[in-house]
Structure 1
């Protein structure tokens, strides 16, 4: 069955975002490594990791979450990512609500993209020239995933973090022209307007449970 243009776009977005979700799986980044060099090295290393790990290829949620927690989160400013997706309501959220939002959002992203990992085969990532100054605190690293079919645009927004754990950290990503944070911000805002922060947390939990049930039914 041929996919429609919209279905193909969603498939490509899922496949590329799955790679982005696992970018950084090689461990902590060196504080003095350039952001474009870092993204290029780590992106291609994670492709090799996926090819060698059958559990990741099969979208095993427990395995993917384990990799995300141990390898990826140290390289992502997930507080900023979640806060940006939540919007102004984040400032009104309690510490407990903020933690619940981060947990639910992480599970949503993992479950949304884990199934696309099985599509990884002979792809490679090419990093485009970085347009940034030596003193810039935030940069955008633009890449393309090269494989069968058309190249897939995959870009990262990173910030330089000081102090302990200093280095570049991802806080947003763009797949085929769609920035992840902006995409979820509109969805989250609609839910918050209807039922507040607790309503958003409940909606995310229900969606995650539905995704878990759907995954179980496919086994």
Structure 2
């Protein structure tokens, strides 16, 4: 009897925790709405203050992304050529590159709005696509989809962003593969370091 009660109690806790877990589309909507609300109210970001934009991204966006998987997908088969230390450095540098890219996009934000589409998801799914559209006055909407995975202990994490049918991580693959073939994994790390330094200094 005691073991049955313990089992039922554990099951109840598990069901309650799952019920309280934020759905992937709710997560994407929450992050997007919070970030855009801040940008609309922050004149510094609107005027091109990249430092403040980066701080906003680091605080609100980073925790919901799986940058290691994004880096692995961007490298493709070359990911297995890297040792653990190289993988760590690659992930850190690629994360910095994506953060700066996203932050620069925020500084150019004006009056776009986001339309959220229904997410097709079955019970037990651990990998889903959250579909949205960027609505721009006078222009066609831009399809913006998020590939999201459910991690056992960390909830839902975004591992790719697809803009108008083009995968963000796959878009880097040819460049990354060419650099690895030419200069090895360390060469790719140095390329990312140099790119981040250029972005940080404001060079194009």
Specify the TM-score bucket, using the shorter chain as the normaliser: 0.7 to 0.9
Change (3 A) 1:102 1:55: farther
Counterpart among 96, 108, 114 of residue 119 in structure 1:
108
| Structure with bigger gyration radius | 2
Paired residue for 2:41, among 40, 47, 52? Answer: 52
Whether the 8 Å CA contact 2:53–2:106 is kept in 1: the answer is no
Q: Say which structure, 1 or 2, has more relative contact order (CA 8 Å, 6+ apart).
A: 1
Q: Is the 8 A contact 2:144 2:164 kept in 1?
A: yes
| Residue of 180, 189, 192 corresponding to 1:204 | 192
For structure 1, the 5+ residue unaligned runs are: 1-29
CA shift, 1:64, in A, is 3.1
After TM superposition, the runs of 4+ consecutive aligned structure 1 residues lying more than 6 A away are none
Q: Please, which moves more after superposition, 141-150 or 115-124? A: 115-124
The alpha-carbon distance between structure 1 residues 186 and 71, as it changes in their structure 2 partners (threshold 3 A), is same
1:1-219 matches, cutoff 5 A: 32-148=21-137, 149-163=139-153, 165=154, 167-213=155-201, 215=202
* Cα distance, 1:198–1:119 mapped onto 2, change above 3 Å: same
The one-character-per-residue Cα deviations of 1:63-114 (angstroms, maximum 9, x if unpaired) are: 3333333332221111111111122222232222122212211222233343
* TM-score, length basis structure 1: 0.76
Task: Flag the 1:42–1:69 CA change in 2: closer, same or farther, 3 A.
Answer: closer
How far apart in 2 are the matches of 1:78 and 1:182? 14
Helix, strand or coil for the counterpart of 1:133? coil
Q: CA distance change for structure 1 residues 58 and 111 in 2, over 3 Å: closer, same or farther?
A: farther
Residues 138-173 of structure 1, C-alpha deviation per residue, up to 9 Å, x if partnerless?
A: 00011001131221110000001112x3x2110000
| Structure 1 residue 216: Cα displacement | 6.3
> What are the ranges of 5 or more consecutive residues in structure 2 without an aligned counterpart?
1-18
Residue 181 of structure 2 aligns to a residue whose secondary structure is helix
Aligned length: 185
Could you tell me whether the CA contact under 8 Å between 1:60 and 1:114 is conserved in 2?
A: no
* Matched-pair contact (CA < 8 Å) for 1:153–1:177: yes
Distance 1:103 1:62, change over 3 A: farther
Q: Is the CA contact (8 Å cut-off) linking 2:58 and 2:99 kept in structure 1? A: no
